[in-house]
Amino acid sequence: MQKKKQPTPKKGQKKGNGKYVLIIWCIFFVLLTIPALIFYLASNDYFGELPGFEEIENPKSNLASQIISSDGVMIGKFYKENRTHVEFEQISPYVIDALVATEDERFFSHPGIDLRALARAVSKMGKGGGASTITQQLAKNLFHEPATSLIERLMQKTKEWVIAARLERQYTKEEIITMYLNQFDFIYQAVGIQSAAAIYFNQSADSLTLLESAMLVGMVKNPSLYSPITKPVQAVQRRNAVLYQMVRNNSLTREAFDTLKLKEIGLNYTRQGHDEGSAPYFREYVRSYMRKWSEENPKADGSKYNMYTDGLKIYTTIDTRMQQYAEEAVSEHMSNLQRVFFKVDGKKPGFPYSKLNQQQIDGIMTQAMRRSDRYRQMKRNGISEDSIREVFETPIRMHVFHWDGDIDTVMSPMDSIRYYKAFYRTGFIAVDPLTGFVKAYVGGMNFKHFKYDQVKMGRRQAGSTFKPFVYATAIKQKKYSPCFEVPDVLTCIEKGSYGLIKDWCPQNSNRQYGEVRTLRNALANSVNTITTFLMKQIGPEPVVRMVKAMGVEGEVPMQPSIALGTLDMSVYELAGAYTTFVNGGVYTQPLMITRIEDKNGTVLQEFSPFTREILNEQDAFVMLEILKGVTIHGTGARLRTKSGNYSYLNDVVTGFPYGFENPIAGKTGTTQNNSDGWFVGLVPNLVGVVWSGCEDRSAHFRGTAYGQGATVALPTWAIFMRKCYEDQRLNISKGNFPEPVDGVNVEVNCQKERLNEQSDPNNRLNNLGI
Mean pLDDT of the chain: 87
Beta strand 460-461 with 568-569 is antiparallel
Contact assessment for residue 392 and residue 414, using Cβ atoms and an 8 Å cutoff: yes
431-458 confidence digits (pLDDT tens): 999 999 999 999 999 999 999 999 999 9
Residues of the chain with pLDDT under 50: 1-4, 12, 42-43, 46-47, 53, 125-126, 754-755, 757-770
Which residues have CB under 8 Å from 213's CB, separation 6+? 92, 94, 95, 97, 98
Q: What is the pLDDT of residue 53?
A: 46
> Within a 10 A sphere around the Cβ of 262, how many other Cβ atoms?
8
Fill in the DSSP letter of residue 411: E
- The Cα–Cα gap between 197 and 734 comes to 40
Question: How far is residue 472's CA from residue 581's CA, in Å, rounded to a whole number?
Answer: 9
Residues 6+ apart with CB under 8 A from 15: 9
| Peptide bond before residue 352 is cis, with ω within 30 degrees of 0 | yes
Largest Cα–Cα separation, the chain: 156
Distance between CA atoms of residues 577 and 546, nearest Å: 9
Q: Does residue 329 contact residue 427 with C-beta atoms inside 8 Å?
A: no
Taking Cα atoms as reference points, which of 482, 480, 486 lies closest to residue 514? Answer: 486
- In this predicted structure, what is the pLDDT of residue 647? 66
Q: How would DSSP label each residue in 615-656? A: S-HHHHHHHHHHHHHHHHHSTTGGGT--SSS---GGG-STT-
d(CA 595, CA 600): 14
Alpha-carbon torsion angle 644, 650, 653, 654, nearest 10: 100
Gap between the Cα atoms of 302 and 595, Å rounded: 21
Contact 576, 589 (CB under 8 A): yes
Q: What is the pLDDT of residue 120?
A: 58
How far, in Å, CA of 389 to CA of 400, rounded? Answer: 21
The kind and range of the H/E element at 481 are none
CA distance 340 to 172: 65
- Give the integer Cα–Cα distance in Å for 544 and 418: 38
Residue 642's pLDDT is 87
Compute and round to an integer the Cα radius of gyration of the chain.
36
Residue 710 near residue 652 (C-beta atoms within 8 A): no
Residue 286: what residue type?
A: V
Residues 6+ apart with CB under 8 A from 547: 466, 469, 556, 577
Closest of 595, 605, 712, 734 to residue 659, by C-alpha: 734
- List beta partners, residue 441: 429
Q: 694, 423 in Cβ contact below 8 A?
A: yes
| Contact call for residues 520 and 630 (beta carbons, < 8 A) | no
Q: Would you put residue 188 in left (φ > 0), alpha (ψ -120 to 50) or beta?
A: left
Which DSSP category does 79 fall into?
-
CA atoms within 13 A on the CB side of 62: 14
Q: How far is CA 368 from CA 360, 375, 419, 675, in A?
A: 13, 10, 12, 18
How far does Cα 388 stand from its chain's mean position?
A: 35
Angstrom distances, CA of residue 600 to CA of 58, 298, 311, 710, 718: 12, 17, 9, 49, 42
pLDDT (0 to 100) of residue 763: 38
Percent of the chain as helix, strand, coil, to the nearest 5: 45, 10, 40
Q: Are 469 and 543 in contact (CB under 8 A)?
A: yes
d(C-alpha 468, C-alpha 624), whole Å: 10
Q: Where are the alpha helices (DSSP H) in 209-305?
A: 210-219, 232-248, 254-260, 280-296
pLDDT at 563: 95
Rounded distance between C-alpha atoms, residue 468 and residue 565, angstroms: 10
Q: Is 588 helix (H, G, I), strand (E, B) or coil?
A: strand
pLDDT of residue 30: 61
Cβ-based neighbour number of residue 292 at 10 Å: 9
Rounded CA-CA distance 490/514 in Å is 9
Q: pLDDT tens, 79-96?
A: 877 778 899 999 999 999
Helix (H) or strand (E) holding 426: strand 424-431
- pTM to 2 decimals? 0.80
Nearest CA-CA partner of 625 in 732, 733, 739, 741: 739
DSSP class of residue 310 equals B
Please check whether residue 56 is in contact with residue 179, taking contact to mean a CB–CB distance below 8 angstroms. no
